[in-house]
Every structure is written in C-alpha cells, then in structure tokens.
Amino acid sequence: MRLILLGPPGSGKGTQAQRLVQRHGIVQLSTGEMLRAAVAAQTPIGIKAQDIMASGGLVPDEIVVGIISERLDQPDATKGFILDGFPRTVPQAVALDELLKKKHIRLDAVIELRVNESALLQRVENRVAEMRARGEDVRIDDTPEVLTRRLASYRSQTEPLIHYYSERRKLLTVDGMMTIEAVTREINRILAAIGAAEQTKAANKAATKASAKRSAKVPQKASAGRGAKATAEKAVKFAARGAATSRKTTKAPGKVGKTASRSNKKPARKTAAGSGARAVGKARKAAKKVTKRRAKR
C-alpha cells in the first residue's frame, strides 16, 4: 500500500499514519526525519542538505526528492509507505510522480482529511486553555496564532494538490471532523475497496490473456486444415486433367488411322482410363498425407 496523506495542520494525519503503519506493516516517510537521517548518515545528498540547512536556507525540491528516492530503495519500504508532509506543492507532486514512474512504483491513493478550520482553531484554543489551567507549558508552535499562519500557508501552497490528484483520480476524501476511531474505520474501508478492485482487475487481466492464447491457437489449426484441403483439391484436379489429356491423346490415332482395328482401340482406352484413375488415386492419397501432416503441426 502506497499512500499520501493530505490535510491541514491539526487534521490528525500523524495519528492516522501511525495506525496505518501498525495495521499494514508499512513505513511512514516524513521528509524532516528523512533529511535528518540522511545528514546523520552523511550520504552524498545528506551532505548537500546539511550545508544548505546550516546556512539557514530551504532545501531545494530536487534534494528532497533525492532523499526520498534513497529511502524508497531501503528494504523496509518494499511493502509500502505513507508520505506525510510531502508533497506540499504541485511542483513537488510532479517531481514525485516522475520519481515513482522511474522506479516503477504505483501510488495507490491520496487520502485527504477534510476539516473545518474554525473548529480546528477552537480545538487548539480549548487545549491551550486546559494546559494553562493545569499549569503546563504550552509549545510555541501550538497556539491559535501559529495555527492561523500555518493554515494560511496550507491554503496557498498545499490545497492546490487536491485538484491535482483529483484530476488523476487518486484523491479520496475522509471527514476529518469525525472521531479518531471513525476516521480510522473509514480509511480502512477505502483501502479494502482499493485492494478488492485491484484483485478484480488482476483476475480480469489474467482471464483476458488466457482467452487470447486460446483464440490464437484455434485459427492456426483451422488455417492449416484449410491449406491442406486446398492443396489436396489442387492435386486431384491436376491428376484429373492429366487423365483427361491421356484419354484424348490415345483416341486421336484411332480417328486418323481408319485401318486400325477395334481390338487395337479398346486396349488403348482401357489403359488410358486406368492410368488416369491410378493418378487420381495417388493424388488423393498424397493429399490426405499432406492434410494429416499439417494438422499435426
């Protein structure tokens, strides 16, 4: 199973990704974690990313795609993966499509967790209020103000992906405002339907191939039979013409030479007729042999 999860901050992508990992035995690919892992491993792409990150710059898309490419080649990604946080823009989606095509990997689905932004802000405000009431520290990036900025960034950069994947018939939308359990059930239902559709498609493809093989064999036999039959008919006609010619040739002297006796004419006719019959018989036997040989082929 190869998936992309889309949704604004706070939509529950991380929670659902972890549940999918546990259920299907696939890996979650987070671009941030992959970048840090590549830097730690000092891979050629990781070294490039390290220099850019150290200078405070944004890592270019081609480097991020390169890191994803390296990660997909690892053994634990063969069963499938979930991309969380990537792609964020349409150009990144195009680059990812090209990468997957080169690796002969097919993306199964893009699942969008659709939520109400006003409800998300209310959730964050309630959570922050509860944490402060308990005397707990509130993370800087977990406030209504930060969430508002992140939502605006999502709308401008990432939301166009919904149209992009919808055009390619990859997008499936789930109501992210349901409970966590309900969202999980809906995602599992969608994935089960995709799996069943793929099995049906594979079965139909196999049946079509088998049917094509059977159809290819039948015309060959029929063609061989028709060819043999035609050859036999030609051989018989040829022999018949030869016999007829022989009879005419034998009769000619009888008409010209009036002194020839009847006793001399009759043996000639019989001999010519017998020769013609034997020739026809031989031709038919030969034709039958040809028919049998071609049918065996």
Q: How far is 122 from 26, CA to CA, in rounded Å?
A: 33
155 a catalytic residue = no
Q: Please indicate whether residue 88 is annotated as part of the active site.
A: yes
Residue 229: per-residue pLDDT: 52
Res. 245: pLDDT tops 60: no
- Asked about 127 being catalytic, the answer comes back as yes
pLDDT tens-place string over residues 197-227: 888 888 888 888 888 888 777 655 555 555 5
The catalytically annotated residue of 79, 139, 266, 292 is 139
Q: Which one has a higher pLDDT value, 233 or 91?
A: 91
Q: Can you give the pLDDT at residue 97?
A: 96
Catalytic residue among 36, 150, 170, 229: 150
Of the candidates 2, 127, 265, 294, the residue annotated as catalytic is 127
> What is the pTM (predicted TM-score) of this model?
0.64
**Which listed residue (88, 265, 284, 294) is catalytic?**
88
CA distances from 145 to 124, 137, 150 (A): 10, 16, 9
The overall average pLDDT reported for the chain is 79
